[in-house]
Amino acid sequence: MSRTVYLGTSSFAASVLRSLAESRHRPALVITPPDSRRGRGRRPAPPPAAEEAAALGIELLQAEDVNAEAVRAAIAAAGAEVAAVCAFGQLIREPLLSELLMLNVHPSLLPRWRGAAPVERAIMAGDCRTGVSVMRVTAGLDSGPVALQEETPIGADEDCGALSPRLAELGGRLLVGALDRHDAGRLELREQDEAEATYAEKIDASERRLDPGRPAVELARRVRALTPHIGAYLEDGNGARLGVRRARPVEQGPEPGRLEVAAESLLLGTTEGGLEIGEVQPPGGRPMRVAAYLRGHAPPERVPAG
């Protein structure tokens, strides 16, 4: 059986690590970036994958640069033949790329949605399906040959917070399957079709604002894509923000930019239809149903477009 090291950072990566550790491919070493400042208090905290490694009792190395000579030496000392990579966030370069087989777990149906935000971009684009690919890491951005791939539907109302755990569970299973095939000498790789490639750019801060100058269906997808980890919001003419956690498009609405109270929801007029908002998050507060929000707040009457 091949000895494995694991490179990961995020909560998604932590979930995949858990699946890997429960298999016969339990990694000998986990590598993550150093602690970083997180949360409202901006206190230093370890990456989720580092916390998971500690909980699992796996040796942990936190490094600024995985390509550094000392890190490569640690990988060699662990006797690793395969590196499993997931949401790591560091560029892996030569000679490390050639020193061992590297298999990356990527939450998309490559070559669609290469890059930093594949789950969010799939939802924002209105894709009806997505999936996970296990691919060999190469110098290009998520462009290496694919070993295993499996698709799953995206629910009509499914947000990123619901979809990501499903993909992580799928990714862990596929990764274990790919390592099983490698050990059996049956791992086959197929090249990606470059003509079909699309890119999932990192979410820009400006994309969080819900612009009534856009169609309601587009805004509803944006809310789902950014919930709960990033968050979409409405902004009134004075710059005050109101987080939006749940919304759906409806055929009719007020004029674009007007926000009206409708039963137990808020209805935002857009260029195409209305955006019915069912759950919000006031600044500094917790997510709540609109009905509860309205008992203590007066929403803005207008939301500027543009």
Neighbours of 175 (CB within 10 A): 28
What is the value of pTM for the model shown? Answer: 0.95
Neighbours of 232 (CB within 10 A): 21
Fold annotation for 205-294: Methionyl-tRNA Fmet Formyltransferase; Chain A, domain 2 (3.10.25)
Instruction: Report how far residue 34's alpha carbon sits from residue 238's, in angstroms, rounded to the nearest whole number.
Output: 39
* Ranges assigned E (strand) in 218-301: 232-235, 241-250, 259-262, 265-269, 274-281, 288-289
Nearest to 249, CA basis, from 282, 278, 292: 278
What confidence score (pLDDT) does residue 263 get? 80
What confidence score (pLDDT) does residue 39 get? 65
Length of the chain: 306
What confidence score (pLDDT) does residue 36 get? 86
Per-residue tokens: 303 = 């939301």
Instruction: Report how far residue 306's alpha carbon sits from residue 298's, in angstroms, rounded to the nearest whole number.
Output: 23
Instruction: Report how far residue 42's alpha carbon sits from residue 40's, in angstroms, rounded to the nearest whole number.
Output: 5
Homologous superfamily in CATH for domain 4-200: Formyl transferase, N-terminal domain (3.40.50.170)
Cβ neighbors of 34 (< 8 A, separation 6 or more) are 62, 63, 64
In the chain, domain spans: 4-200, 205-294
Q: What is the pLDDT along the chain (306 residues), one digit of tens a residue?
A: 789 999 999 999 999 999 999 999 999 999 999 998 776 667 888 999 999 999 999 999 999 999 999 999 999 999 999 999 999 999 999 999 999 999 999 999 999 999 999 999 999 999 999 999 999 999 999 999 999 999 999 999 999 999 999 999 999 999 999 999 999 999 999 999 999 999 999 999 999 999 999 999 999 999 999 999 999 999 998 899 999 999 999 999 999 999 999 888 999 999 999 999 999 999 989 999 999 999 988 888 899 988
- The pLDDT tens digits of the residues spanning 82-119 come to 999 999 999 999 999 999 999 999 999 999 999 999 99
Helices and strands counted in the chain (H then E) = 8, 17
- Alpha helical stretches, state H, the chain: 11-21, 48-56, 69-77, 96-99, 118-124, 160-183, 216-226, 290-294
